[in-house]
Structures are given as structure tokens and as C-alpha cells.
Amino acid sequence: MIIWKEPYFYLETKHTSYIMRILSNGMLHHVYYGAKIPKEDMGWYQLFQGKGFSPAVTVNGLVSSADLIPQEYPSFGRGDYRCPAFAVETADGRRLNELTYDHHEILEEKPALPGLPSLDVNMEESNSLAVTLKDAACGYEVVLHYTVLEEEDVIARHTEIRNRGKDAVYVRRAASLSLDIERDNLEFLSLSGAWGRERYPNRRPLSPGTTSIESRRGSSSHQLNPFAALASPDATETAGEVYGFSLIYSADFQILTEVSQYGCTRLQAGLNPETFSWKMEAGETFVTPEALMTYSGHGFQEMSHHFHDVCRRHLGRSAARDMVHPIIINSWEAMYFDLSEEKLKQFLADCEGLDIDTFVVDDGWFGRRTDDQSSLGDWFVDEERFPGGLHGVAECCRNAGMKFGIWFEPEMISRDSRLYKAHPDWCIRGQEEPVECRHQLVLDMSRKEVVDGIYEQMAAFIREYDITYIKWDFNRNLTDNGSFFLPPDRQREHTHRYMLGVYSLMHRLTETFPQVFFEGCSGGGGRFDFGILYYMPQIWTSDDSDAAERLRIQYGTSYAYPPASMVAHVSACPNHQTGRITPFATRGEVAQMCNYGYELAVGQLASEEKTMIREQVRKHRRLDEMIQRGIFYRLCSPFTGNLCAWQMVSEDQKRSYVMAAFLMAEPNPGGQYLRLQGLRKDGQYKVEPLGITAGGETLMRAGIPVIAPQRDYTAFAFELEWLSE
Ligand code: GLA
């Protein structure tokens, strides 16, 4: 709900309030964000004072300083020395910005963000506010957009800058959101990592000065995810205050905090100003990516639930939201580049009877791609390698009762390719020879003809083979940033233009082929963000398929992203990334929390393992509804102990699934009780395989016994079913 009661804006979700007010000098003062409070006059709620070394401003009859006042969208050069939310320069070099309130509108429809992924919100449930601020001297307007998602306790924000003047201006910085919280004892939690170990939670106290996470890779990155939380020092999974922030964007970003001299913590999230700039001609508008913010008074878990709910209910094409996530078998770790019609057909024959939905031919099927040195950009089948194309394989796949899926890496080009010979200028490059990574270059997706060229190739292939599943990979990051096709003063627009081009390709393909289920991937989870999840319902969580490593990766990823967005496969042992050996059953249980599949040479499995696959597939179908729509609880962290446990509960709380995995076996071990969460307090639950019946309250307060195993990497799983009273 959004209420305007001059001079206050009250934005309310089910459990939170967000309040701002217009000060007498036109400044937009951020008053409060946190647990829900009544909508009252809060004129007394301020710490305004005049301060030395901070120019004075008189607001509402009081002398204060811009450096002290919490603001909605702070600017540069007029006395607030903290980090500005935006910076606009005029062609004649003016770079002082001062915004004052001009007008506002409460909108009946959430405004579209042209070319960008954003939440899809039914306005019967929520509403949107647009507050227009003006810089009178330079003639541009800044519109702050807020959409309130009441049920999910989330506010979506973005910023629009409109050049109302006669000359061009340059946007040097434009945060999607800026938030001033008047406290300085908050801790910062981010998800950091590297290839093969993505999104480990990293928590540290903030101190005076800035702390930031960012990407300048042209991708949201394996290293730092576009998500952050600010938490009270006492915050745990289930208690304490936590603010969560996330961007719906997949390229260069920055999330920055600054603790000021007067104990205010400023957080800003948006495009990375270091690699970004945008020229706006007179009359043009620039729109930032959308950012999400949420508040939880009950620890990290509730913050995660807010993000999970928003992602599942409001992100992405609504048709894709209802698509069944298929159980897949992927060729990569089974065969890598060693593909032939005969091998693929044999592989399919080996899969007979496993009841898997979709077979995905990964890298290596196109052009002359027998290793990673060639053919990216040549999205057709080479008749010498596959006489008659992949039709024989596709037919065999369908005869085996499976759908046919395929791997693409649409944004890339190999020097050794027909595409490169025809269009050597299609790759991103500067004056120097472009830098190769995995022997490949990146296509300049900021150019429409490049996007069109790749679209045509992909569309032809999808039609020819009646493809229903595409794994969309992105196996290197950008270098040589810039483009000969942009003038000098637009070079810094390149990375954002690249991303807009990629989004436009994703948009066209998903619109034209609504039957195709897309999976995002970037060397595993190198581009795991809400931007990609808008177009693709799931993302390959990591190239690290080792079950012990996946405990950490999936646990960490769940801080911002729901299990329904993650993909996990059972792979072979010794594991190809770590050399570790884990029991087949453990690999299955760890993968069960995500969208599920296999990635191994089925022909080399023992018959008991094949029997286990059939059981695991049946189990996954049983759990699928809970994975897609249930509530996810982190019970024990693999980052703090030897036991990792999580739980899923169905929406109606009648079913639950619990997974508890021990890492290393210990000598003379004891055991422990695992306290469950989210169950009904009435009636009883049957708990299998314990063969017991117990009340939800008992299971939550007393817990279920788990005896430590005498084997490394052992997982236990429990399924609960509610029995009426
Ligand atoms: C990336 C993906 C893998 C596989 C390879 C193919 O690394 O994450 O799953 O598709 O590319 O080259």
C-alpha cells in the first residue's frame, strides 16, 4: 500500500514500513525502513544539527547539514560528502547536482523497464509510486520508482533519468536504489567465491568508510553475486534484523555501503560506475536496472523467503513459471567433446528404463568442435562428423521416450570458425588484438546485426530439431571493452549495451519459442542472478558437481535464490572436479533439493546404481511440487560444522523433506537431534524411514534423532507426511 499524506510517503508491506518525507527545501528525506509502524506525523524523528566542515542547510526551520540528513537519492557537490547515488555531467563540464522534489504519481500499473528484466506485478495486489525530482540548473529530472509487493515484504526500485534540457548530458553514475539507515553497527553479508565454489556467505562488520562488492567482468560473476544483506550483529538464521538487497541485472554492478562520521550506513546498488557512463541527448531517458530490497525482523531465513517468494511468483515469463522443470541427463561429464552419432545412440540405449525426461547434448555437437579451440558461432551440424545431422540421435532420443535438448553458447565466437571468417569484425575488440580466454572471443552483442545473426542460426536449429530444452552457456568474461561502432564519448556505454543486446536475444527466443525450456549457465554459476532468471527458469548452479562441495554452494546460493532456480546433477566418482569419492546415495540426496538430473556415463554404472537412479527419479517427482513452490529452511550450516541440513515444507505444510549430510566421519561419534521448522502444530506427521509418528510441535522443538555415521559423506533423508488429527 502507498499512502501520500503531505509531506509524507508511507509505503507498507505486510510486515514493513518505508517512510520518506519532503523537507521545506525540497529535499527528499528518508525517514524510516524496518518493522511495520503506524502512519503518523514523524516531524520529531530527526537528528538534524549544524556541523563543522559540513555546509549548513536550513530545513523545516532547523539548521542542519546535507552530510547528516538521510536522503532518498543523494547528489554530489552540495554538501553531502558521502557517496552520491547519481552523477550527471553536462557537455560544458558542470557536475554539481542538486535534486529537489517536483511532483509524484501513484500509478495503477507498474512502469515497464524497456529492454530490461524486471518483476511482473499484478497491480490488484500492489502499487507503484513515481517521485520526480528536478535539477533546476541543469534541466534534467530524476524519477524514483517504488513498487510495493505487500505479501512478499519486498520493495522493487529503479531510477529513470530524463534529459529535459536542450543539450546532451552524461550520466556517470545512477544507482537503482540508495538507502540511508541511521545506525552504524550493521554487518555486511555477501555471497562470494570463484569458479567451482560459488556463493559462499561472507559476513563482516562494517566500519567507517566504504565497503563494496562489484563486477567489472561484463557478467554478474562467480566471484561476487549482485546480492547483499545488512544485519544486526545478533542476527542469526531465525532472529535479528536483516535488510536484503538484490539486483535484477547480469553484468557490471556495484553494491556499496558507506558508514559515515555520524553513524549512518548508506547502501547503494546499481550499475558499476567505474565501467559505466551514458550519453543522453536532449529529450532522452535512461532507465536503470531494477533492484529489490526487503526487511526481516526474524533473521536471514525470513529474508531468503522474501526473495524466494518474489522470484517464484513475480519473476519471469508467466508461462515459463508454470513449466515443469524436466529431469535431465546431460552428455558433458559423460563424454565431454568426444561425441559421435554412434556414441550418443549407445548412451541413449544405456538410459533405457531410467524414466528421465530430457536428454541434453552438451558442448561439441556443432561445426568442427572436437575440443574447445574452434567453431563457436557455427550453430549448425557438420555433415562430415554427423552425416544426416543430429536427426538420427533426436529420433533415437524420442523413441526412448525422452525430449531432445541442446547446448548453445550464443555470445561467443572462435577464431577458428566460419562465422569469424565471414565477420571478423563481429567480436568485441579494441585497437589491440582481443584477449582470448578458453580460446574464444566474445561477440559484440551491443550490435543489432550480431544479435540478429545469432538469432537466425538458433531459431533455424530449434525449428529443424523441434528443440524443447536449451542450456545457454557463457564461458568467459568480457575484455577489450568498447566498440568501434560507438563514438568516443559512448565507449563506456558498451558493457551495458552488450547486456541489453543479450537480453534482447533472450527475449526474442523466449517469445518466439515459448515451448523451449531454457537453463542458464556460465562455467557453472558465473551468471546466477535475477536478470537471467527472468528469461530462464533455472541455472546450472556450479560446474562443481561434487556432493560435498555442492552442500556449501547450494546452501550459500539459497540466501538469495530459491531451490526452484538451481540445477544439480548426480555425477560420477571419483568426482571430476575434486577427485573425491562420495556414496551414490549421498550424491542423489544433495541434488534432490534442486532441479534434478544426471551427468555421467550410464553404461559404466553398476546395476544397483541404475536401480538407485530409478528410485531417485521417482523420489524427485514426489518432491518436485515442494521444490517448486514449497518453503526452504536452512537447518545446519556446512560452513560452521560437520553437518549440513536443510528442509523443504510444502505450501500447505502437509509434507516435508529433510536432508542431513555429514562431511567427515569422526571416531566414536555421538548423534544429535535435528530440530525441524515450518510444520503444522496440529495433527501428527508420519516420519519415514524412521517409521515414527510425532506432532509438528514435537518435531520442531525436540527434533528428530540423527546418529553420526561411520562413513565419510553420508546423507540421511526423511520424508514427512501429515496425518489428520
Ligand atoms: C561450461 C558448463 C559445463 C559445460 C561446458 C561445456 O563449463 O558449465 O556444464 O557445458 O561449459 O564447454
What are the tens digits of pLDDT across the range 179-223?
999 999 999 999 999 999 999 999 999 999 999 999 999 999 999
The gap from C-alpha 75 to its chain's centroid, in whole angstroms, comes to 29
Cβ neighbours of residue 142 under 8 Å, at least 6 residues apart?
Answer: 73, 86, 99, 132, 133, 134, 135, 159, 160, 161, 162
How far is 713 from 278, CA to CA, in rounded Å? Answer: 51
Residue of 252, 357, 473, 529 marked active site:
473
CA 530/CA 227 separation, integer angstroms: 10
> Which numbered atom of ligand 1 lies nearest the CA of 372?
12
* Residue type for position 21: R
Confidence of residue 124 (pLDDT cuts 50, 70, 90): confident
Ligand 1 atom nearest to 362, measured from its CA:
10
**pLDDT for position 678:** 98
Where does 558-690 have alpha helices with state H? 584-592, 607-629
Residue 137 in this model has a pLDDT that exceeds 90: no
521 in contact with ligand 1, CB cutoff 6 A:
yes
- Give the list of residues 6+ apart from residue 102 with CB closer than 8 angstroms, or none: 132, 133, 134, 141
Q: Which residues contact 210 (CB under 8 A, 6 or more apart)?
A: 83, 256, 257, 258
Is the model's pLDDT at 421 over the cut of 80?
yes
CB 125 within 8 A of CB 150: yes
Mutate which of 370, 407, 527, 545 for ligand 1? The one with the most ligand atoms within 8 Å of its CB, which is 407
* pLDDT for res 399: 96
Report CA(417)–ligand 1 centroid distance (Å).
19
Judge whether 680 and 696 are in contact, CB under 8 Å. Answer: yes
Atom of ligand 1 minimally distant from the CA of 524: 8
pLDDT tens for residues 239-253?
999 999 999 999 999
C-alpha cell at 205: 562488520
CB 410 within 8 A of CB 472: yes
> Which residue is associated with the grid cell 559512448?
490
- Measured CA to CA, the distance from residue 109 to residue 38 in angstroms comes to 26
Average pLDDT value for residue range 634-645: 97
Question: Is 543 annotated in the active site?
Answer: yes
Read off the C-alpha cell for 146.
517504488
Q: Using an 8 Å Cβ cutoff, are 504 and 485 in contact?
A: no
pLDDT in tens, 423-468: 999 999 998 999 999 999 999 999 999 999 999 999 999 999 999 9
Percent of the chain residues topping a pLDDT of 90: 95
CB < 8 Å & 24+ apart, contacts of 125-129: 125/149, 125/150, 125/151, 126/150, 127/1, 127/2, 128/2, 129/2, 129/9, 129/11, 129/104, 129/105
Give the residue-averaged pLDDT of 499-524.
97
Write out pLDDT tens, residues 95-112: 999 999 999 999 989 999
Mean predicted confidence (pLDDT) in 33-60 = 95
pLDDT digits (tens, 9 = 90+) for 396-407: 999 999 999 999
Query: Has 135 been annotated as catalytic?
Result: no
Q: Does residue 317 register a pLDDT over 80?
A: no
Q: Is pLDDT at 323 greater than 90 in this prediction? A: no
d(Cα 129, Cα 109) in Å, to the nearest integer?
Answer: 10
| Distance of CA 141 from the midpoint of ligand 1 (Å) | 45
Ligand 1 center to residue 482 CA distance, Å? Answer: 27
pLDDT at 126 over 70: no
* Torsions phi, psi for 327 (to 5 deg): -85, 125
Average pLDDT over residues 365-373: 97
Cβ neighbour number for residue 377 with a 10 Å cutoff: 31
Ligand 1 neighbour 363 (Cβ under 6 A): yes
Whether 165 and 155 have beta carbons less than 8 Å apart is answered as no
CB of 333 within 6 A of ligand 1: the answer is no
| Backbone dihedral angles phi then psi of residue 629, each to the nearest 5 degrees | -125, -5
CB of 543 closer than 6 A to ligand 1? yes
DSSP 559: T
What average pLDDT score do residues 292-304 get? Answer: 98
Q: Is 660 exposed, middle or buried (0-12, 13-18, 19+ CB in 10 A)?
A: buried
Give the Cα separation of 516 and 509 in Å (integer): 9
If you average pLDDT over every residue of the chain, what do you get?
96
